[in-house]
Structure 1
Amino acid sequence: VECETHHSKSILQQILNKENGSETKWHQQHGSPHCSTRSRGCPCLDRKRVVLRTPEATCRRASEVLLKTSTFIRNLPSFYQMPWEDQFVLIQQNWVPLFVLGMAQEGVDFDLKEIPATSLLKKILLNQSSTAMRELGSSSAGASLAEVEKMRNLLWKFWDLDISAKEYAYLKGIILFNSAPEGIPAPCTNRIQTLQNEAQKALMEFISTMFHGNLGRFALILQLITSLRDIDADAIEELFFRPVLGEATVNALLIETLCIRPVWR
């Protein structure tokens, strides 16, 4: 598919061309997320909001992952052979697990800092900000720590398995060709199911060969990619892309970058 639109690409390139900054690792300060606050049953985790400690460096790496994800999709003829409406639905429903899987493959860890709730309350009480009340209940005031911890725990599980590049490629195919997307007609659903089955079979054969027929790894990896679908899209956008995209959405950016749109005749 030939694309004449360069606007979305330029957004990504502007992000990627920003100067690199140093990035402090979250686990250096707090240890493995396997020992996180959530595992100790802290009920306040759901109420806490966080932002990146080094947004310039981390957002740049996240943008690189997004660009590599779009490149992977672009190189799949089987994807572009589908009607554009079906391509749209697949991207809309699957970009979050694809992105998180890309973060795992690229080894992107990050440091966080909590947004003090008292700072917004003070603004309200002291009438220092007319928008403070809206900010207090707005998702733009950082991402949910609970959702971010959920993502980080999954990243560490992928890293613990030391997944190879080939395994990641097969996993991306399994995720992209989601066998049960809403809004896709039956004939295309059957085609998508076939493509997903082919990716699963290739992954199973690879693991069986590399790990001497032990398919426990195969089952564990499939369980992990199922868990990827529980990651909240709003948390991903707020944490990694709101500082650079503003009100634009990642879904819309990918749709434009991949040129998924009707062909007017």
Structure 2
Amino acid sequence: MFTHHSCSGHRDCPAHTILYSILSGSESRYLNDKLSRNAAARNCRCEQRRTVCLKDPKATCQVASGVLVNAVCFVRALPSFSQLPFVDQSSLLRHCWVPLFVLGLAQRKIVFEVTNTSILRKILLGPGLSGNEADLPTPAEVHNLRDCLHKLWNLDLSPVEYAYLKGALLFNPAVQGLSALLFIEGLQRKGVRALQEVVQRLHPGDGARFTHVLHAASTIQTVSPGLVTELFFKPVIGNTNMSHLLIEMLSVQ
């Protein structure tokens, strides 16, 4: 970071100052070399490839599993969802499970800590469980997830607002291959309208709140399924396919 320091006696300083030397070229090589080293440090492949894992995977994964189970139970309990063909139910759940999971983390005020993934840990995991190095969570991805959670926490949503927001995100007509597309489009419109009504009823003096809720919901879409799977569920399910697990949870009688 560059900081500006003013000199109280700058009127008495001679023209040939350090700054003048740099601009005139006598110090330019030093400055350019320093900037190049700083840029190289920021762009270092080691830094870009740095990955993280949960600091307490046993406890955190247990809590995360409970959040996911609650999300699937919420979906299954919706009468409008149960009216859909199972193939549409499966498609909607596979598409929206991450937003529902993030909302669950926010609603339950779940806080988690991460630590750097050590080389020793990767060796101990072995190639069968460690998976693709590119799939491992990065600090930037975790920061984005935490940013989404903080946006939701700052709104201090009520349980009713959370419920309607989950419903609005669930019925997404943009999901490919839906057989009951028109019905799902209608459900989404009703869901968004119901969310708006409940927000206005609970916060009549805050005309911008609904917009803020929608903005927070849009940021959730930036959280990738790969991050959530690798960070919260891979330590438990190993190489089990997450989509297959979700369908099994959905079909349990």
TM-score (norm 1): 0.71
Question: Is the counterpart of residue 147 in structure 1 residue 141 in structure 2?
Answer: yes
Question: Is the counterpart of residue 205 in structure 1 residue 207 in structure 2?
Answer: no
Q: Radius of gyration: which is bigger? A: 2
Partner of 2:245: 253
Partner of 2:64: 62
Determine helix, strand or coil for the equivalent of 1:51.
strand
Against the structure 1 CA distance between its residues 208 and 152, is the aligned structure 2 distance closer, same or farther, given a 3 Å change threshold? same
Unaligned runs of 5+ in 1: 1-41, 124-128, 261-265
Question: Is the counterpart of residue 228 in structure 1 residue 220 in structure 2?
Answer: yes
CA RMSD of aligned residues (A): 2.6
Partner of 1:171: 165
Contact 1:204 / 1:215 at 8 angstroms: preserved in 2?
Answer: no
Following superposition of structure 1 onto structure 2, how do residues 128-143 of structure 1 map, counting pairs within 5 Å?
138-139=133-134, 142-143=136-137
Following superposition of structure 1 onto structure 2, how do residues 115-134 of structure 1 map, counting pairs within 5 Å?
115-116=117-118
Following superposition of structure 1 onto structure 2, how do residues 1-265 of structure 1 map, counting pairs within 5 Å?
46-116=48-118, 138-139=133-134, 142-185=136-179, 188-212=180-204, 214-259=206-251
Contact 2:172 / 2:184 at 8 angstroms: preserved in 1?
Answer: yes
Against the structure 1 CA distance between its residues 212 and 139, is the aligned structure 2 distance closer, same or farther, given a 3 Å change threshold? same
Contact 1:92 / 1:251 at 8 angstroms: preserved in 2?
Answer: yes
User: What is the number of equivalent residue pairs in this alignment?
Assistant: 208
Contact 2:99 / 2:169 at 8 angstroms: preserved in 1?
Answer: yes
Aligned equivalents of 1:120, 1:221: Cα separation in 2 = 39
Partner of 1:13: none
Deviation at 1:213, TM superposition (A): 5.1
Aligned equivalents of 1:106, 1:252: Cα separation in 2 = 26
Determine helix, strand or coil for the equivalent of 1:258.
helix
Deviation at 1:215, TM superposition (A): 3.2
Unaligned runs of 5+ in 2: 1-41
Aligned equivalents of 1:96, 1:237: Cα separation in 2 = 9
Aligned equivalents of 2:165, 2:189: Cα separation in 1 = 11
Deviation at 1:179, TM superposition (A): 2.6
Against the structure 1 CA distance between its residues 74 and 47, is the aligned structure 2 distance closer, same or farther, given a 3 Å change threshold? same
Deviation at 1:224, TM superposition (A): 1.4
TM-score (norm 2): 0.74
Percent identity among equivalent residues? Answer: 38
Contact 2:168 / 2:195 at 8 angstroms: preserved in 1?
Answer: no
